[in-house]
Amino acid sequence: MIKKMVKEMKRDILLCIAAAALSVIASYAAYLWAPPEATMGDLYRILYVHAPAAWVCYLAFFISLLASIMYLSKRKKGYDRIAEVSAILGLVYGAVALVSGSIWAKAAWGSYWNWDPRETTTLILWIAYMGYVSIKLSIGSIEKRAVIGAVYNILAFSTIPLSYLSIMLLPTLHPQIATPTEIFMTPPMATTLFLSLIAASLFFVYLLITAFTVWSLEDRVNALIYEKGGILTGNV
Amino acid sequence: MYEVFLVSIIYWTTLLVVFVWLSRRLAYLKEKIADLEVGMGEEEKKGEEET
């Protein structure tokens, strides 16, 4: 038991160090190494923060979807917990993507919010997942909350392709940096973006593991208090 | 260029807040579990002594 805990702790520390080191390298590349873009100049560097935040937001909701599907098929509490923590982290990254996108929009298009298809569909996505978190917070029965949450989560995921494909299917101001077959960037820019995506993903994985551990330990504390005959407050 | 700086500050501050909150919560819960387990162990010992 203790050996397993020490092993997990070592893994988490290594993951955190790797994410931090890669983030430093990615930041150096983003702010100093990558050349300014031909028309937007240095403003283009926002991309190296904005795109990873949006990517991790999609990744988090995808993991949340998988965990919800697994919960519905296996009915194991751990899957429901992964779905929940991943969705909450996805909302954090989604908020950063929305805010950074708005700052870019103000500088590039003159207004913070333009009701552009990408902006609008990303906001819909974010609100849909806020609904998921609201469901998880508002239903008292643990079993009911998990099942309804999982079904809602699967439905909410339909907003991801809507957001992703919006710039391909609708007229938009949002720049398209890549298609599944082509990338519209110079090699140093593409390398910087790739590094930023990997660094952000690693850091997200670390946060996901830590958040999952915190949620699990909260259950353990509640169980111990219950065993001792104490009153559960729901907030230890 | 200040927009790039602003976006970076927002991104890193948000992640740092989440990171610090989770780390503090994790440390608190580990401590709480250790306390509760010690307490339970002592109660079990007392129970054994009484019987």
CA distance A208 to A210: 5
State how far Cα A131 lies from the chain centre.
Answer: 16
CA distance A8 to A47: 34
* Whole-number pLDDT of residue A18: 93
CB contact under 8 A, B22 and A42: no
* pTM for this model (two decimals): 0.89
CB-nearest to A210 from B6, B26, B39 is: B26
Give the orientation angle of helix A77-109 with respect to helix A187-227, to 10 degrees: 140
CB contact under 8 A, A228 and B36: yes
Mean pLDDT throughout A104-130? 91
CB-nearest to A217 from B6, B23, B29 is: B29
CB contact under 8 A, A217 and B39: no
* Whole-number pLDDT of residue A230: 63
CA distance B43 to B51: 12
Pick the CATH number of A2-227 from 1.20.120, 1.10.1740, 1.10.3470, 1.10.287: 1.20.120
**B13-43 pLDDT, tens digit each:** 999 999 999 999 999 999 999 888 887 767 6
List Cβ neighbours of A143 (8 Å cut-off, separation of 6 or more). none
ipTM for the assembly:
0.86
Residues in chain B closer than 8 A to A221 (CB atoms): 29, 32-33, 36
**A151-168 pLDDT, tens digit each:** 999 999 999 998 888 877
